[in-house]
Amino acid sequence: MVTMTVYYRENHSVNDFIRWRKEGELILRPKFQRRPVWQYPARSYLVDTVVRGLPMPKIFLRRVVSETTKLKAYEVVDGQQRLQAILDFHAGSLKLSRDQNQELGGVSFEGLPEPAQRSFLEYEISTEVMEDANDSEVYGMFERLNRYTLALNPQERLNAKYFGPFKQTVYKLAADQTSLDAWKKLKAFTDRQVSRMSEVEHTSDVLVAIVEGISDITAMRAAYERYDKQFPKQEGATKSFHAALQYVLTLSGAVNKTRFRQRSWFYSLMVAAADSISGIPNGLGPLKPRPCSEVTSRMCQIDEALKMPIVPGGLAKLQKSFSGQTSHVPPRQTRHEYFFEMLTLSQSKWDARWKNLSEGMTMIQNRI
């Protein structure tokens, strides 16, 4: 008689896993577990997730009979590193990182306040339990689960590797309610882009410019590594980012109907706003930005001019900065200079500047 694998979705508390481990009913390292051991930052981050009561990914178990006790046991098919971190924290051999939790950093389970201890033990972990499954069926199941898994993009790889104060700052800035409301109103990211962490990548990119000046997008990786232990400029950078985003939000009408919502345009608009309000290293500011009514008109002027069959000669350099390698320093610096003027020049100076920018187009048209 051929048995069929049965799948159960169950929730089990952290205390269940602790009890199973003590009673020999939890097999953490079955023969098919060959994954590298997580480093301390990743282990602490996972425990911090549980301490804060935030959701964690599902654990996959196989219900078996223990060769040692001859009783029912749970074999961990996927989630060994997560469970090991939780169990080590409870046993006292793992402490929370101060970089990830300033209030409770440096303590293990025994150092938690009693209510936090109780919440930790009661925390429920979602599991998928397999019964009557042989090794071949387990491998087959994961082949199906992973067949359509998207490869990690650069931001997702950074998210998986770093856990320090720079990452924490980025994620707080990108995902607090103020920012979420702003992204929605600005229509800067589609739902799919958000699902692939585009708004987090954008926040990382802008934050690097605020802290270190305009850089290639590849500088993000170095920033995540450099500030993984300490991020001295965290407070000032956070304030600068919030101020820039709130100012750009006042321009949402123009952002929505122009190409300023596109990635390269939006990045440079945010950085120019941060420079004008707070200043950035090697920047042009600070210089108080103009009222949104003036700036939105200028944004539309630039957008419309770059749509024309014959682009104004004075804007040719700006147009070139939107083609090719748009995330490298030279084109970013070019856009910054144009956008900074757009944000900060008085109306009379802007009118004179715009006349100068438009002259090249007029001369070309006069020859036709």
Please calculate the CA angle 201-202-203 and round it to the nearest 5 degrees.
90
| Three-class SS state of 194 | helix
| Three-class SS state of 107 | coil
Report the predicted TM-score, pTM, of the whole model to 2 decimal places: 0.75
Whether the Cβ atoms of residue 59 and residue 127 lie closer than 8 Å to each other: yes
Domain limits of the chain?
A: 6-147, 154-367
pLDDT at 148: 63
* DSSP code string of 197-262: THHHHHHHHHHHHHHH-S--TTHHHHHHHHTSS--TTHHHHHHHHHHHHHHHHTTHHHHHHSGGGS
Return per-residue pLDDT of the chain as tens, 368 residues.
Answer: 445 778 889 999 999 999 999 988 998 876 554 455 688 888 999 999 999 999 998 998 988 877 676 778 888 888 888 999 999 999 999 999 988 888 998 999 999 999 999 999 999 999 988 887 777 777 666 666 666 666 778 888 888 788 889 998 998 899 888 898 999 999 988 878 887 888 999 999 999 999 999 999 999 999 999 999 899 999 999 999 999 999 999 999 999 999 999 999 999 999 999 999 999 999 999 999 999 999 999 999 999 999 988 888 899 999 999 988 899 999 999 999 999 999 999 999 999 999 999 875 443 333 33
C-alpha 85/C-alpha 46 separation (Å) is 7
CA dihedral 41, 42, 46, 47 (to 10 degrees): -40
pLDDT at 36: 55
| Three-class SS state of 134 | coil
Element (H, E) at 96: none
CA dihedral 270, 276, 280, 283 (to 10 degrees): 110
